[in-house]
Chain A
Amino acid sequence: MIPTSWFLVLSAILFTIGVCGFLTRRNGITMFMCVELMVNAVNLTFLAYARQFHQLHGLIFVFFVMAIAAAEAAVGLAIFISLFHHRETIDVDEANLMRW
């Protein structure tokens, strides 16, 4: 039997790696992948607590998070593709037209 806090620590480590990648990379696709990594870390936390307290609601929440992440990935990649077509670069720092 594995203590729940170990799963929480693993989830925290994965979330931190996702945050680090999101803040330090300039490639749009890589930043998107770091967002997916963060979402998965949170899924792991939900499941750890669902097992701890024997609640089915954690599982249902993870189910919906997966569906929504799929929708988000589709729309986000479509946005990224149209951005790439306009600017021919994947550097997100170049998408700065609306900055003051």
Chain B
Amino acid sequence: MTIDRVDVVLEVVKILLVVGLLLNVVPIMVWVERRGSALIQDRLGPNRVGPFGLIQSMADALKFILKEDVIPLQANKWLYTLAPLFGLLPALTTIAVVPWGRPFFIPTEVMYGPRVSGACIVGAAVTAILAIVVAGGTAKYHRKPNYSRLNFTIGAIVATALFLVALGLIGVMFGIKAAGALHLPGGGRLFEPIIADVNVGILLIFALASLSVYGITTAGWSSANKFSLFGGIRASAQMISYELSLALSAVSVLMVAGSLRLTDVVAKQTGYFVLFDSVKIPAWNCFSPAIWLAMIVFIVSAFAETNRLPFDFAEAEAELVAGYHTEYSSMKFAMFFMSEYIAMTTMSALVVTLFFGGWDVPWYNEPPTLAGFLLSAIAFLAKVGFVLFVFVWVRWTIPRLKYDILMKIGWKVFLPLAIVNIVLVAWFIAERWI
């Protein structure tokens, strides 16, 4: 099959969108983690650095960049420096096979007049609202309000907001005057919102997830610190134990879908289950009783794979100082931090794709147009956001298990459950109940 320039440009656009999303999810998740944990623990959380503490993540990023980078004297310098990269690369590349929207046909011609005006209005409104919120949010924290300065600041911000609204109106008039059609070079093609639609899709996810063990092991070993070594070895033993139940519990979903491709898994979930001849439930795998056991095993194994509580022996703040990243500072620590959140996002995306219908909007068959695609992408993001919130919720609710109990239930409870689940789903498929 021939690949021409437009395909390459579309692929690059897709990669930029997805990687941009993943890298931007990290500061948002840091905020959700800190404010969410504060909500659960009945305290406030960061609220100084911006309205509701929203700029806290930027302050943290600046701190990470400006801190001194310390390398321990006896550490193996090459491996010490490369270990965060071993953790980050699998986390960033695993998302390549997850479909994040409905495939649609790129329109051949775009009328840009109304779109320009619409974009100007939306942009102006959003900026104006943000400006007013920031003004209102920061106005409370002046201790002894100097009213003239306060009024001046608020006045300046409202004036900027009005100026932007005026710019928006000018843009609207320009849009109405200069209406026309833009001919898109890629028009008529099917845009598939998945970076790499290989026919062994989910095996690549398992392959790259099993490579993420090396980041932790190398970090723990090359730090020349016994606590780090213990944290690294324990975490990698836990990760390779739970990889088995992760893969085997996903096999039952793949048996129902009949294919290894994640696009086929989602396509099978776009139908409906009809109960009592009248009630239509979207055919997501979470609504099908045969898959419930697989869902439980998969979600628990996903927690263990990403080293989140109740399985977070890699960090184990109360036990091992900071586990495998004890000796890391500034940007290298930030890269470990980022790779944990990115792996969490990828696992959530996988949970959503396998069990919660992927990009499918419930009770609505999206047409293959740009609007349908945007609706499905927003639905996907909403579902991934919900699962990420569940990750945060569980972290601050359930205590950490003892390490030997964790390994015991990994091998003696979840692995047999995953195998029993495969046999069960195979029986259901043979009896045509699924």
Are chains A and B touching in the complex at the 8 Å CB cutoff?
no
Interface residues of B (CB under 8 A from A): none
